[in-house]
Structure 1
Amino acid sequence: MAEPTIQNRPPRPVPLAALLTLLLGLAVAIGLFLILRDLEYKAQDTDFRQQASIRALRLEHGLAEAVNAVEIANQLFVVNETVSREQFRLFTQPLLKNYPYIQAFNFHRIVTDSERSAFEAEMRKQFAGFMLTELAGGKPVPARIKKRYIVVDFLEPMRGNEAAFGLDVSFHAHLVATMQHAAETGLPAASDLLRLAQGEADARIGFQVVVPVYRKGAALDDAGARRAAWIGDTAVIFSAKKLIEKAFGSDGLLEEGSPDVSVYAAAAAVESQLAFRKGLPPASGPQGGALLRWLSPRQISPVTHDFLVAGKPWHMMLSPAAPTAIVGQYGSFYVLIGGVLFSFLAAAYIHALVTREQRVQRLVQERTREAHLANRLLREDIAARERLEKDLQLRKRAIEASPNAIIITSAEAPDYPIEYVNPAFLHMTGYTEMEILGRSMRLLMGNDSKQPGIAEFKSATIEQRLGHAVMRSYRKDGTMFWNDLYTSPVRDADGRVTHFVAAQYDITEMKRYEAELEIRANQDTVTGLANRNLLRDRLSQALAFAARYMHPVWVVHLDLDRFKFINDTLGLSAGDQLLKQVAERLQACVRATDTVARLAADEFVLVLPERSDESSAIHTVQRIMDAAAKPYTIEGHEFFMTVSAGMAVYPTDGEDAETLMKHADVAMYRAKETGRNNYQFYTPAMNERALERLRLEGDLRLALEHRQFELHYQPQVDLCTGKIHGMEALIRWQHPAYGMVAPARFIGLAEETGLIVPLGAWVVRTACMQAKSWQDAGLGELRVAVNLSARQFTQKDLVKSIANVLRECGLAPHCLELELTESMLMDDVERAIGILRDLAGLGVQISVDDFGTGYSSLAYLKRLPIDVLKIDQSFVRDISIDPDDAAIVATIVSLAHSLRLQVIAEGVETAEQLEFLRDHGCDAMQGYYFSKPVPADQFEAMLRQGKCLAGSANIAG
């Protein structure tokens, strides 16, 4: 049988070796493709996330800096008692210049309906035709009547914003909610995005940040207290586009080919709250069939970053720019193509080798070409790796070149040791790498470990969240600098925090600038005292407070005698040194709540509020004159200086600041005319009363020695028996010139001068001796009540001195009753309980005087070892006509009896009062109805006569 011709030869099956070669080549190609594609994706993803992290830090810092501008503006209202429009304009000018993304500074003032007319009238003095307005149809119209208005009071810049001046913004529900949230928390609060009236068309989207302003001196312990003290807020309106572009700066973060950025003023990607967008929105993912998606380069996932802007959540999304999203991932694709081709060629080669040996040469050449292709692809892969390494080095150099300090710490508690610092940190702190690596960042805090920012960072590291605080830090040489510090956790692929990265900004100059602004606005440059502006502000506030609570305010005008001689003799520099020493002595002589100001040259003014009597103000001025009279040493010369002072008091000498300062100045010149080195009151009548008080104080010091005091006794009558069972000892002063001086005129003086202690000891001893004398005369075992002063009660040897008096007089302890006021006991309850227990241990009786007028704390009353409650006469006076007073007295009696205490009513003057007390079970009374306080001889006659209270139960007996 003949062999078939070539044309008729059946096709041969593919050899097994060729098939295996094809499958193995394809498997290797696909494996290499998957590995290289994963490496390429990770490299590009790592690079993109580093870029995203840098932009997130830049944006968060820029927004924090913007919020800081609001807080800086708010400091103007925190530091100053009142702020003028000129101060507001001058203060905001540099901020508007430094922060071009700020559209306007506002101060919103809360005005009630009752204050509206006065507010509009006051504003019209400066702005003709001013009225409160609201928006209707986009135009300002007169504001409708409502309970409360939130008015744009201060506004900078005014040009272009005139329509907002005087506008009531309370119609804007979201803005009001933002303001109320800030007021209740005491923290800055940001609004939603709003459309701005000014600026370029693409920059008219903005937002507003508000910081609350509270009433001066108000308690801010909780949200309710802060809401009650809220009087307005400072607000700053920002252009979102300009702010974000400023935050990213000019480092190429927004240039062509950089990642696309979308920033939302919300917690999620809400298009209505889109604040900024560069490029396109993030893509939803690759499209097409499964095979096409498998072959396509892996898409880089968008990066999101959430943070807070003044308490409001913001959301940022970053995605690779469309042209560069897949650049760098085609090397693996080339490997796949080459591997597939190589596999097919190898299989073809085997197939040809088996079938046709004559094709060997061609297959060798084909393999050579494929080898060259593989080498070229390998070289391209190496080049890609080199580019990746170069990019990583570039990022490292960028961090090292950063002007702000960058620190990377381990997440290992408790020290979180430092693993990396950039050169800016070393330059900022003065440490070397060897000195800082492995150490804790607490090294920068030194001994200043009580800062609130430390607690914030401890909490942030424990909770593994972002942290931010402004802190005082210390360089290696010990110098302090202000540090604006941000920390952020760094997580690995599994989401576990392995490190923390911190960015540190030196804001010392900004803090110094704030301090300088405050000093220049309020302080005298030579002495550091309040200047004329601050003096007028403090005096106006003191007068407003005094008018509300009916307190006097003393204004003292001081002038240095012969100061011109010092200036002319030693020169202006010596004069300035003298003024500084005088200022220090003046401040040492007054309270922290007083104001000491330098008016001009050698003239000083003191504002002394909350001094209810003349004596305290006189003593303050006398201390100042004594301090000023001490010798001064300047440039090796010792000399003496005196002052002349004039005093005026509100409201007697004037009801406004200008009048009072003028009258005090007149009085000061009178002091100069009368020989210098003295003080004068504005009116002769006040001067005479003050001199009389001083004479009375001088006489008081001699009264005990000259035996000018005596005791009067007021009977205390048992309401059941009608008999006298005790008496209260009351001191009187028989002055040789003024006659009988009432206790109200000298007890306060004795308290102030400390004479109350020996005077009180004299009263206790005299009363005990008198009671013992009446007992020895057979007039009964009467109990004598003696009032203790606050100074006596706080004496360390009080109990011992009482025991000595009882022992020396021979009086039984139960015959002595010590009376104390509620305020004395409640001032320091635990200490009072200890003293009262020691006194009760002696056996003396203890009563609480004027019960019901002080603290009346039932929680402590049951713990106090007392025997008697004395109802104050202010309640007894109207018990027959005032149901409230009657209810109070009945309650006190019932309360005392439930605690097994006796009750005595003071100031009983009518039969109706007496009958009410009897009907409600009161134990005893004292008052003019039975007898006024009388001298000892008259009281003894009353005892001998057996005087009783008419109408008692057993009078007949």
Structure 2
Amino acid sequence: MDKLLRRVRFSFTVSALLTLFVGLCLTMLVFTAIRKVESDQQKIQFRQNANLRISVIEIGLQDAVEQLVILNQLFRTFGIITREQFHTFTAPILKRYPEIQALSYQRLLRQTDRHNFEMEMRRRNPDFMLTEIVNDQQRRASIRDYYNVIDYLEPSIGNEAALGLDTAYNNDQTLARQRSRDTGNAVSTGLISLAQHKGLHSGFLVLAPVYLQGVPLDGATARERAAIGETSAVFRSDQLINTILRSGGVAEATGMGISIYASAQADPQNLAFQQSGPKPVMESIKLPVGWLFYDNAEPLGHTFTLAGNEWHLEVIQASTPFTVYHHGALYVLLGGLLSSVLAAAYVYKLVLRIATVEHETSERAATLQFANLRLSEDIALSLRTEKSLRLRERVIEVSANAIIICSANAPDYPIEYVNPAFERITGYSADEVLGRSLESLQGNSQDQQNIEEIRAALRDKREGHALLRNYRKDGTGYWNDLFIAPVQDEHGLISHFVVAQYDISAVMKYEAEMEFQASHDTLTGLANRNLLRERLTEAIADAERSGTPLWVVFVDLDRFKFINDTLGHEAGDALLKVLAMRLQSATGEADTVARLGGDEFVLVFPNQTEDAPGLVVLQRIMDSVAQPLMLQDHEFYLTCSMGIAQYPGDGNTAESLIKHADIAMYRAKEMGRNTFQFYTPTMIERTLDRLSIETDLRYALDRDEFVIQYQPQVSLATGRIVGMEVLLRWEHPVLGLIAPTRFIGLAEEMGLIVPIGAWVIRTACIQTKAWHLAGYTDLRVAVNLSPRQFTQKALAQSIADVLAATGLEPHFLELELTESMIMNDVDNAITILRALKQLGVHISIDDFGTGYSSLSYLRRFPIDVLKIDQSFVNELNIDADAAAIVIAIISLAHSLRLKVIAEGVETPEQLAFLRAHGCDQMQGYYFSRPVNAEQFELLLQQESGAIIDDNVLYFGPH
């Protein structure tokens, strides 16, 4: 029999090992698949983060260099300006771009003029002298035929060492200077030691030549002879790139390193900037299956041209253990291993126990066959009892719930038996708990009220039930629905207790999730409308008790529908998740951030007032929202409008405060967006007026209430009308003529701007074609496009259909766009603009100078006209900065072969200034207000030959 039992045990061992092997194989297959998916996701995330940093750095460097181009255009326009003019012009540039170390004008100076130059400079600075740097030491300049002396330098503070420095001896600057003079373009040097920092920091210079005015510049030789100096910008590499990273919101490069080289490849001698990430984990260990345990994303490199020289940027990710990004695979691996071992052990133990019981039963039956026949009835009864006990034992063994049998001996109630389910649920083996007290399983952090019920049941020797929080051997918690019942012996005395534990963690987790979903937004995890009302009511009660103020802030994203319309709702949802995190990071722990729905958020700020700290909080929120955002390889710049209601002045209930904050938010929208407004009682009247306007606006197009006015655009060279800008007006049957500022924004929000805009384009083209047929064959019509019109998918086709239907030639139609409209999504804007240009229409940028004004993008857009915003024109004669900006815009536009139109010209002085500096066209009240078609035709008839004489417009025959 023993030999047979050993053979049976061997076969059962093989079964258990086979179970273990199958479980391990399945575990490794699932682990490998999940780990591969998680690894691919992590590498995609790295590439996205790396591309974002590459884009931010390249654009930031290009924008910084462009400021020198703007400064150089001033010199090319006016020649050598005064030191005061240089200070006036560079001050706003340095304020907007603090990463520029210095802007300077380097004068080409002959030896014969050196003495007079030094004497003149000493009138300003008695210690001034021409200097040079040799072997990193600054000293008085040696005698030579020519010098390239830093004459003008801003800011002067912090750059004193560079004033009067001769740069002709510097090989890097000499090579860059020669290339810039030969080509006429801005050229950067390699990395050099900066005089401002006594050689402690390296940087680079960008030089742009200044030529003698009126001298032909045909060919490199002619440009070399005409050169009289150059403008330069000094950049400290580490400071510049750190500033660009911070302003782009990507200063923290978690898990990655960034290296930037002032060369076409990764040359350590030309390392301009390095931001080191964490050191690679186990980088020296080469494992055959290392890919299973470590992620090694391929470095991402990018080469671009900056001011005539190639730069190389490289982003590297450190190797990271799979435990950092692969929790799912780790859980599968550990869970699979544990399940496989437990399954094998369970199979072995269960089958072996059954075999042992059957073996013992067989021996007992054989022995009983030789007993006295008089005991046959007792033997039969014993066999039935043993079978029943064995069946009950098997039921307890295979139960999915933990079963404990403990003694009724107080006070310890020692444990005498636990089933396998107890070992699986708690992590304790039977050997570890047998003999220990029952209460030792409860840990130290129990609900005392519930545990007391179990203690009372033990004392009273009765049944008991309680919901407890138990802890496994590894410290993890689980919810346990515990039942306890007494067991009597043959004398009717309580000898044991049976304890049944039901693991209801999944049920409790589901209930917690349901409770969370009932009070939180499913997309962002923020508080929803129900939880907001509850917390706001509590905050109002606290504010009433303490006598402190309370703010309710209604936040609405500006032009959020643009994201959904262009990239889809999935991108919109991703954006909302990011902005939810930004709002939470910009607020405190005591504050509440809730999402009402769509792009509407509500913030609750206890103890806030309208003083400086409170306004700082609002500005911090706006700055957080305005950080650039990458979605589907597109970079977006979003803003928000906010309305603030204060307790108790603006309401004493949650509903009234939210309602008034919402009204104040709409007022912020009306004021141009990207701002905040505090609620005032007068806003309710505005809201009612807005609702009335919205209702009437829905029917205005069908009722033919819209009219078009035309404002002439006049050539400053001939004085003739060459075109007109179309302006939409609404003739309300009750309110009369309504200004566009009152209804255009509403039409945009309500989605009515597309059909209204289509009507405007069609009507304008029909009228222009009619004037062409009447003999005014050169008129061009300019029509503004709204953001929603610009992003509609069939824009180019709809324009083509209008041109075909009206017979207007495409080049007589000019579409006007704003800077902010095309900068929201640069790549998509370029695609749309190219489709429009293929039709043959003209493209103009309206309000130029008030938005991004980025030349790096301006060069990429296929545009024809720049329109100078009237805010600059209005201040031409009173603000030197405005005049300088207008001059720069005209010069830059002409250098890019673009036409320039000035808006809002109202005085002869403004007209004189624009003519003197080469502006091509103008429009404004000085010539004519916007008029209807009949009045415009009268202007055309009067203009048999309008001329400009002494900056005054005259009409009449030549």
TM value normalised by structure 1: 0.42
Larger radius of gyration: 1
TM value normalised by structure 2: 0.42
